Amino acid sequence: MTDIRIFQPVRILSAASAGDLTHWVRSQLKAGARYFVIDLKQVLFMDSSGLGCLILAQRMVTQVGGVLALCSLSGQARMLLEMANTEQMIPVYDSVEDFENSLKLTAQA
């Protein structure tokens, strides 16, 4: 089974909270983690700083050969990601389980 690290921001993903996500990704990478999910089910609002933080996290993870995905997008956060056309950069899944299943399928191929 793949070790997936999950970060769940709450309510707002903006400049005020983006540093927490960046710090978490860095610390998990240093610990050897390579599979990450940012679970946005509790995020009610995300601004451009939050979006930028997600893109930075994705770059940090892919630089070391890891995989970062988003899940549980809804409302304004989904709209912002669609408007920015980031779903081609960062894969989006309905749930953590869907991401885990995609990793299993990739490993079997």
How does residue 75 score in pLDDT terms, banded at 50, 70 and 90?
Answer: confident
Residue 42: its pLDDT value, please? 92
Q: What is the CATH number of domain 4-108?
A: 3.30.750.24
Averaged pLDDT for residues 86-93: 88
For residue 74, pLDDT over 90 is answered with: no
Quote the CA–CA distance of 49 and 54 in Å, as a whole number: 9
Q: Is the dihedral of CA 55, 53, 40, 2 positive or negative?
A: positive
Q: What is the pLDDT of residues 39-52, one digit of tens each?
A: 999 998 999 999 99
pLDDT tens readout for residues 12-23? 999 898 889 999
Give the integer Cα–Cα distance in Å for 18 and 24: 10
Structure tokens at 82: 């669609």
* The pLDDT of residue 109: 63
Name the pTM for this structure: 0.89
